[in-house]
Amino acid sequence: MTTIHLGHLAHMKDNPFETGNPPEIVTQGALAVADDGTIQNAGPAEDILNTYPKAVRCDHGDAWLIPGLVDGHIHFPQFDVTAARGEQLLDWLEGSIFPAEARFQSQEFAEGAARAFTQKLLSCGTTCALVFGSQFPGATQALFRAARSNGPRLIAGMTLMDRGAPEVLFTPADVTYRQNEKLIREVAAEPLLDYAVTPRFALSCSEALLEVCAALVKAYPDCRIQTHINENHDEIAATRATFPKQEHYLDVYARFGLVGPRTVLAHNIHPCDDQLDRMAELSCAVCHCPASNMYLGSGLFPLRSHIERNIPVLVGSDIGAGRNFCILEELAAAFQVSQLQRLRLNVARLLYLGTLAGARALHLDNRIGNFKPGKDADFVVLHPGDDPYLTRRWAACDSPEEQLFVTIMMGRETHIRQTWLQGRRVYGND
């Protein structure tokens, strides 16, 4: 039986940085969802209701329905240390983050954290996330189990490191391949789970460990690759000193075959032109984490330089350095960062960065990212709810585009009324 969701629809059909197109907005719209959780149709409510006269109706009133939000960079074992003290990146890692990550050697602790982590993502409207898992295989298994039971769609992998931290967090090169291979095989048949080979960053990995990462990618080419790059000036200088034979930071990863179309590099705040050109050539994606970059004083992400080279960019919360679990808040932060660099992010660009851009960067745009028929019905219902000011602000808007922009800029977890994954409600009440 078809289910029809009624509300105001908004999604991106293409890349507005390339086309300049506005979002497709249908006020008093309807989304028709098949029994198998895929989108059958989307358009004006009257047309959809006439097409499916026997369908079940789910009326969301004057709420906005947008595609599920995509978080392109978040750390599972940093779930409990958001807003932890620290000066900048390296000091913050040593003083606050490594001790917190060590707690995940407790399987009981990891199981509880995994359930809370995945539920938090869903309550924030995140239906797909690229996640740095724990250094401990059992904890990363717990993360996959929690996602398997109710969502969200997850791409994750063990965080790999063998130096520059307490030894309890090390993933020795001689056992890393076997541990990762086991996890890869466990998630291979899961439709909503994928694996990402995850070297933490160059400073935390020996050449032997990077070689293991390269071997995994060669043996399992469907895996994704995620890591960090060019986040902090001290980090960049230390990487240069550690790998003196490499021309720059990107070369460290490229030397081991870890940069390609299935790679997502987080941050990239301080790239040189040569690195940007090489990223474009290798077709990797970059994740923009504005709140994290500001919290640690890392710098302002040069979005314009990436867009000019057609480097795919998605947005990430980067919990725990980030302060926002909700990608709507990250989009507002991205807007502010771009304003400081005289780059205007209109409603189309913001909606794209939070939805279809992430789907494309993760090679999932055949399944998610907008309301094209045949894709999975992953969507979020946004409404002011009990927020009297946002309700008043909505009433003052002169157009649907303005109301959508205001909703993205002022949206918070409290404004996520419901989250739907493959046509199933996974968060929220009637």
Class of domain 3-68+371-427: mainly beta
> What backbone phi and psi angles, to 5 degrees, belong to 273?
-60, -35
What is the reported pLDDT for 359?
A: 98
Q: What CATH number does domain 69-325 carry, 3.40.50.1860, 3.20.20.140, 3.40.50.300, 3.90.420.10?
A: 3.20.20.140
Using 50 as the pLDDT threshold, list the residues of the chain that sit under it. none
What is the reported pLDDT for 85?
A: 80
What is the reported pLDDT for 217?
A: 98
Report yes or no: 274 and 281 within 8 Å, Cβ to Cβ.
no
What is the reported pLDDT for 121?
A: 98
Tell me the pTM.
Answer: 0.98
The 3-class secondary structure across the chain, one letter per residue, is CCEEEEEEEEECCCCHHHHCCCCEEEEEEEEEECCCCEEEEEEEHHHHHHHCCCCEEEEEEEEEEEECEEEEEEEHHHCCCCCCCCCCHHHHHHHHHHHHHHHHHCHHHHHHHHHHHHHHHHHCCEEEEEEECCCCHHHHHHHHHHHHHHCCEEEEECEECCCCCCHHHCCCHHHHHHHHHHHHHHHCCCCCEEEEEEECCHHHCCHHHHHHHHHHHHHCCCCEEEEEECCCHHHHHHHHHHCCCCCCHHHHHHHCCCCCCCEEEEECCCCCHHHHHHHHHHCCEEEECHHHHHHCCCCCCCHHHHHHCCCCEEECCCCCCCCCCCHHHHHHHHHHHHHHCCCCCCHHHHHHHHCHHHHHHCCCCCCCCCCCCCCECCEEEECCCCCHHHHHHHHCCCCHHHHHHHHHHHCCHHHEEEEEECCEEEECCC
Q: Looking at the chain, which residues constitute the CATH 3.20.20.140 domain(s)?
A: 69-325
Q: Looking at the chain, which residues constitute the CATH 2.30.40.10 domain(s)?
A: 3-68+371-427
CA distances, 272 to each of 209, 229, 256, 298 (Å): 26, 12, 20, 16
